[in-house]
Amino acid sequence: TLQYMLNNRSPCLVPNVENDLNWRIRDSSSWVRSYIAVPIQALGQVIGFLNLNSATPDFFQSRHVERLQAFANQVAIAVENMQLYDALNRHAHRLEERVNERTAALNREKERVEAILNSSNDAIVLAKPDGAIQQTNPAFDQLFGYEIDKTFQWPIINLVVPDQARALRDTLQQVVQSQQSARIESIACRSDGTTFETDISLSPIIDNEAQVGAIVM
């Protein structure tokens, strides 16, 4: 009967086992006189069966098949929901692991870049494409006479004398549009107002969307 339901995916009704030629009476179930069963189908597969036995001949009829099948359908829905919930949990766990791995990789890369910046003897500035300063290294702070993070979010044109600001802004826009490095000679201005001649190199950092995400000076 189980094999029949597995192959045909349909209920099995044996009102009276004594009248069914395919029924085999075993010692452990010799008391059974009427039998009904339905397959439980979830996610396109038969995952189990619901079986009912009765000691009364002709006890089970077609109406019982409908009721048992309705119950089996509810069981299948519950099983599908449980499997989907487990699948979502596993997927969320994998995503969390990937996020953790990616975060750790980014932290390592950030530490590596900061180590390079901090150990360089050249004044280095990291700016947004619009020219807002995001980060400076110790050599820059020492050269320009600013405290750490004092220039955060300043426009880079504040680093040069006023009559050189437009040329620096135009060069920045050129680098963003062309995504190519550029150089400009300018006169920089320290925090105390003193000036010095400088050769500024601007290099774009291209992000994952093939856009300029930052400028290194």
Residue-wise pLDDT tens digits, 172-200: 999 999 999 999 999 999 999 999 999 99
- Smallest CA-to-CA distance from 35 within 4, 80, 77 is with 4
- Smallest CA-to-CA distance from 129 within 214, 217, 216 is with 214
d(Cα 134, Cα 125) in Å, to the nearest integer? 8
d(Cα 85, Cα 73) in Å, to the nearest integer? 18
d(Cα 47, Cα 111) in Å, to the nearest integer? 52
DSSP states of 67-108: HHHHHHHHHHHHHHHHHHHHHHHHHHHHHHHHHHHHHHHHHH
Give the pTM.
0.51
Residue 199 amino acid letter: D
Residue 25 amino acid letter: I
Q: Starting from the edge strand earliest in sequence, which strands make up the sheet with 45-54, in order?
A: 12-14, 34-42, 45-54
d(Cα 84, Cα 91) in Å, to the nearest integer? 10
11 confidence band (pLDDT: 50, 70, 90): very high
User: What percent of the chain is predicted at pLDDT more than 70?
Assistant: 100
d(Cα 20, Cα 126) in Å, to the nearest integer? 86
37 confidence band (pLDDT: 50, 70, 90): very high
